[in-house]
Amino acid sequence: MLINKKITTILFDLDGTLLDTNPLIIKTFEETLKHYLPDRVFTKEDIMEFIGPTLKQTFDTLYKEKTEEIIKYYREINRKLHDDMVVVYPTVREGLELLKANNYTLGVVSSKKRDMVIHGLKYTKLNHLFDLVMGHDDVTNPKPDPEPIYIAMERLNCSKENVIYVGDNSHDIEAGNNAGVVSVGVAWSLRGAQYLKQFNPDYIIEDMKDLINIIHEVNNKNGK
């Protein structure tokens, strides 16, 4: 429902949305699973299912007795490989700069630890564009629960009528829909646009700069 919307704020997922971290995440999972579960075979498709949930959610289903130890190992590998494997998706930097130039408030709401979110934004020189950065350690109930978006709105002093949430995964679309904000999926998602459509996003974008057109469309529908 896009009634009574007046968009002022755009919130983004990070991995797979702004930064292409998918090769890094897959490689980190491969190394971690090989170390802790050497007798099990995980295909790339299996590992893709781990992208989106928090590490605790994932490893609790695989080896709950050692979840915290495995998460620590995963993060060590991930940090070691990060800077050699992470890049900004095409059109993202230009789209963010355009939104900022038009005085929109921008935030990142991610399911990864906040210090690594900040590291990724600083490494890719995107950090100066954001008014808010949140990780899973800022919330009790991660996506697809709406709590992360609710907390972001509270910190930015805006309401659901003012917000777009942009992501690449089912958890992102569901979180946006559950929070009552405009939900947007990115066509460059690892699973593709068709996969995202089944979760009923309000929009799918091919280019980050499309967000300006979406904002104008939503606001014009409401006579803003």
Contacting residues for 221 by C-beta, under 8 A, at least 6 apart: 2, 5
Query: 194 near 174, Cβ under 8 Å?
Result: no
Sole residue written with tokens 């007795």: 65
DSSP string, 209-224: THHHHHHHHHHHHTT-
131 a catalytic residue = no
Count of other CB atoms within 10 angstroms of residue 37: 14
DSSP string, 166-219: EESSHHHHHHHHHHTSEEEEETT-TT-HHHHHTT--SEEESSTTHHHHHHHHHH
Query: 147 near 41, Cβ under 8 Å?
Result: no
In whole angstroms, what is the distance from residue 181 CA to residue 159 CA? Answer: 9
Instruction: Tell me the catalytic residues.
Output: 13
